[in-house]
Chain A
Amino acid sequence: MPDEEPSVLRQLTRLSTIGITLVAATAIGLAIGYWLDRWIGTSPWLTMVFTLFGIAAGFLNLFRDLGLVRRTWR
């Protein structure tokens, strides 16, 4: 399995995604919350909740990628 010995290229490509994914996840959470708010009509609440979810998703991806790298660099 590639999971036992991930190549340097794989680590580098995963690392290169960190910045954009962090921003994109936050923006997508904001967009989903905004659309749900306009659809249901609960004005600020779903936007706030889904923005927090988006930030959480971005940081989850960040920690996942960093954890992968740290595990293989050890």
Chain B
Amino acid sequence: MTKILVVDDSNSIRDMVSFTLKSAGFETIEAKDGVEGLSKAKAANYDLVISDINMPNMDGITLCSELRKLPSFKFTPILMLTTESSSEMKMRGKAAGATGWLVKPFNPEKLLETIKRVVR
């Protein structure tokens, strides 16, 4: 089953994303900040990582670059959840190795539509 790591410090967003993905048949693991996200990532293989950017302890951009350093995550799709779609954000994300982004607020339908570009 396709396994997705969901990293967001907001309980409600995390719940919503996780629920939406589970309902679509994906398996989800959750983390509440970059540190927890990184440690969970090291413990298993994932088909996709969805992470918020603004989080305490370790933000999404840093998490992304840390993940790219792990051999198992070299080509894993990593999507950033961002409230801005500025080109500056794009640059930062790409520089850190992000695959793409999803702009908040998004609804569950949009989420599922979008992740089709990176998972089956």
A, B assembled together:
no
